[in-house]
Each structure stands twice: as structure tokens, then as C-alpha cells.
A and B are shown apart, each in its own frame.
Chain A
Amino acid sequence: MNDDYKGYRDPAKKVLIEHKVRVWSEVKMRTTRGHFEGTILPRSETSDAKHIVLKLANGYNIGILSDTVETIEEQSYKEAIYKIPEKEFPTDPKKPNIKLLGTGGTIASRLDYRTGAVIPAFSPGELYGSVPELADYCNLTTEKLFGVFSENMGPEQWIRLAEAIGEAIEAGTDGIVIGHGTDVMHHTAAILSFMVQDSPVPIVMVGSQRSSDRPSSDAALNLIHAVNTAGKSDIAEVVVSMFGPTSDQYGLLHRGTRVRKMHSSYRSTFRTIGDIPLAMVDREKITPLRSDYKKRRNDRRVKINTAFEEKVSIVYYYPNMQPDIIDSLIDNGYRGIVIAGTGLGHVNKPVYKALERAQKKGVAVYMTVQTLWGYVQMYVYETGRRLMELGVIPGANMLPEVAYVKLCWALGQTDDLDKVKKIMLTPIAGEITEREPYNGYLIYQGGIPEVEEFLRTIKR
């Protein structure tokens, strides 16, 4: 592979070739805007083709319009190598053995010149070098399963992940940490909650909202919280361990089927919906907030069930939705549809006839609520009762994304819609709860005096 003109296209590339310089050349450049000296850097492929990137001696980068270039003189050539201080991870027989499974995503990332973006590329070994505190908590072994952006996760990765978890448990690990991008972390957490049954050890998913190339990153602390949980906690479930508040204070352990990413960029983006989190975690301890979780065991009896039907869709209802939306799914051979309905679980009348058709074609249709908080209740209004007659099954308080992965999983196991219904409506991993606690739904409203007081004094 020729990286001499990494990311450059014509006309800038032509100018570099013409003047016999390449990426990493240290050059003196004469242009119509004056003289510039520096090192030629790779160019991001998504940037325009006209400019040459120069790193100046003071560390700044600038772009030079290739049209303005008169002469370029190469002074020397020195390729930069991005290196992370790698440390051999110390082992201590008294510490728990943790398996870190890598999937890509922000917790393991580095800068890439070609795209000008943060891409998943840290090897788990390099991770130790940047977070030496991990050795205070555990002995760590790592396995990089694949390197995909969070949004590119899918059944193939989920199945591989579930299998790897099973292998690690059988091999005797005391806890599992999964590094994962945050965008669809809650989808993965949910499907793993179904694919991995009766785990004897904690399965902790972790990521970061601020990439690890920056000093303010939450990656290191999240990782520390995750290994602390995996090694020490007695919560033998799939949990998401991410920042509680935006401050560097504590993390929260969210049950895999009740967690959701709720802000596009906040550190404290993950929230347990319709319930309270399982526990708080900091550098020292894990503080359970409830006791009804599955406990750690010494046996290795885990059940891995990676059944998955891909022909399932999620439909976010909006006013004036037309039946063709549902029809096109039926026509394309979809076997399951999860609707995120309004209010208690409703859609408008025009959609009815498409739902009737779905029922006839044997498509499994489940209702969830786009309010996210609260239960589906289809008896309250006539609309709901009519929808049930059309075969739409209320999904209780399953989150739409959770119902979606669960339906994929259920349809993967059987064609019998009654059996599917039984799987769907039987709580397996807390995805449906019998009661919503009074403190489960809390979205405080900024600006109100008592909330302001709370922000000033308690919330950090």
C-alpha cells in the first residue's frame, strides 16, 4: 500500500508529486501568500482536494491552497508513529481474573489521519498502558472480537459476543467486561440479556462518551468502574456501567434490558427507564440500590441461546402514518413488527387494515410506547381494544428497542406465534416488570426553584 500521499487527491496530490515531496516530508514552501515551513501531514479523505496540510514547528496544523504553491523544498523526512506506552500487566493471584472483550467503539480508540476522526484501534494491551489503575482491581486478559463502530453492530456480532461470553465463563473467568460504542450499547445489552441465560458472573458493558484521546475523557473512569464491578460485585447479570452524573463521581449499573441512551453527547447519557438502577459504583465500592438481581455463583452453568430472526422491524408511529408502511414490511417478508405507539399504545385508523393483513399473514406485531416511561394499556380506549382484535399484542413496559431484539430472539427460536407470545411476555431478564416504582420515573424540570436548589447543592 502506498501511503506517500495518504488521503490526498488531485489537484493537491499532483502538486506534491510535482515537487517531489510526500506525507511526512519536512518542507519549506513558497506560496503566493508567503513562506511556510513544516511537515506535510496526511489529509482527511472527507476534506476537499485543494489543500495541503502542514504541521508547523509550534504544533499547529494549517492548510495551504495547492494553487498558491510556487515551490516546495524537502528538508528531511520523518514518519510519525503513534505509540502508546505499553506495560506488561502485573498478575496477582489474590485478584479476580477478568476477561475484557473488545468490540471497537469509543472506549478503545485513536486518531486517524485519513478520516480526521477517532477510530477504534487501541489494542486492549495498549489500554493498560493508559489506565494503569486497572491492575489494582484485577488480572486482565483481553480478546478483540471485532472492531466495528457501535452503529454497525448487528446479529453477527451479537452472536459472536454471546459465544465468546460463554467460552470465557466456561474457562473460569470471574467477570466479563465488554468494551462497546455507546450508540447502540443498550441494544447489545438487551440482546445479550436474552442470549446469555443464568450467567454465574457479572457481564459489564462499558464505553465512553468523550474519546480516550482527551484529558477529560470518561473512558478511564468508566473502565475502572467496569473492572471493579466485574471483579467484585455479586450482580450476575448483563449490566451497563456508565457515568451517573456528568461529574467524575460515580457510575451507575443499569440492568441490560432497562437501560437507554438518552442524550446525544452527555457523559451521563445512560438512564434506567421505568425503574431504578441496580447499583452505584466508584473506585472503591459497589453500592446496590436494590436486591432483586441474580447473584454470583461458583458454578459454570451458563446457557447460551443465540437464536435470531433478522426479519423484524421497529415502526415509530407518527400522526398520519399510512398503511403502506406496514404493508411494505409484510411484502418484504418481515415476520415481526414492534410498534412504538403513542400514549398507552395507539396508532391511527388508516393503519388498521394493514395490521389486519399482517395478522392474516402471520406476522407477529407487538405494541410498545414511544413515551418510553410507562406501560402499554390497550383496554383503556376503544382504539386499543380494536388494535388487539387485529392481533397487536401489548408489550407491557418493554422498551421499544428491547422488544425489538427480544422478538428477533423469539422468532429465531420458533415459528409458532403462540410460543413466540409466551417467550415475549414472560419476563426473562427484567425487561417486563410487575410494578413500576414511584421513583422510577424522574425527569426533573430545569428552572423550577426546588430543582435549581437541588442542582446547586446536591447534583454534581
Chain B
Amino acid sequence: MNVKTDDFELVRNFLSGNEQSFNILARRYQERIYWHARRMLADHDDAHEIVQQVLLVMHSKLNTFSFNSALYTWIYKITATRCLNLLKKKKLQRIFTFSSDDAVENFGYENIIENIEAKERFTRMEKYLKSLPVKQRQVFIMRNYDEFSYEEISNITGKSIGALKANYFHAFKKMKELMEKNDD
């Protein structure tokens, strides 16, 4: 049985009243939800909040899942939307509270990332990603970390493949420039 079929069966079981099936689905996807949110938001608490929000939405809205696409695509759409909404909210909060982008960032990685050696590199990459405009950041993360094709990203975000490719090109170029600058 492949993952897709297994997901569908778990969804059906949950919709019939089996909460354990939902827990299995949550455990299966929680880490991927966390990492996408973490890379988009560059903050542990925000990423954690997104995970909780997405699980709550899944729990209340799984009855609307149409089984036309993979479950992960459906979950991903919710995650991507919630991340963008939170970014907009934080931007407005910064405007109204006159705070800067340099406010204390909560990387919070000390206890949650197993590989200690990678922590420094991860923190650096997180800063680079945060420097990218949101649309570029999103497509760069979805291509490189989530390994979606342009077609899948287009389906999730609603953007044209041409626009996505352009954003990806600019993001890749900017990341290269940021790494060069850091070396200097």
C-alpha cells in the first residue's frame, strides 16, 4: 500500500470517528509542517504555532478534503497560507509598534535539532532565507527543501509556472550573493 492510499484510508477512518487515525496522520506530517514554517518564518515559536494551527484546521476541515490530490498537497496549502498570513500580521505589527526587523529572533534550536554540528550552518541559512522577498523565499523553500516540482508549486500557490521560475532564479542568485558576502 503506498503512502497516498494509506493516507486516504486514515482520513476515511478519522471521518468515521477514529481519532487515532488522525494522530497517525499528524505524526506523519508534523515535522514537514514544522520545517516549512520554520524556513519561512525563521522563528521556532512561530513555526510551532503554525504546526498547532495546521493540525487544528486539519482536524476541523478534513471532511472537506476531496481525495483528488495527495493529502500532503492539501496540508501544504494550509501550511503555506498560514505562514504567509503570519508574515503579513507580523509586518503590520512592526509598522504599528515601530519595531524593526532586527528585533530579537527566536531561533530556539538548541533543544530541538538533533545534529549539533549543523546548527551553525542552519542558523546562517535561516538568515539568508529571511533576506529573500517572501515570494522568492517560498518558491526556493518549496523547490529545495520540500522538493516540489514547478507544477506542484503552481497548484499549491496558484502562481504561474513562469512566475515561479523567475522567482526561483532570483532567489537562487540572491542566496549565492549572500553567501559570497558572508565569506567576505
| Same assembly | no
- Which residues of A pack against B, CB within 8 Å? none
- Which residues of B pack against A, CB within 8 Å? none
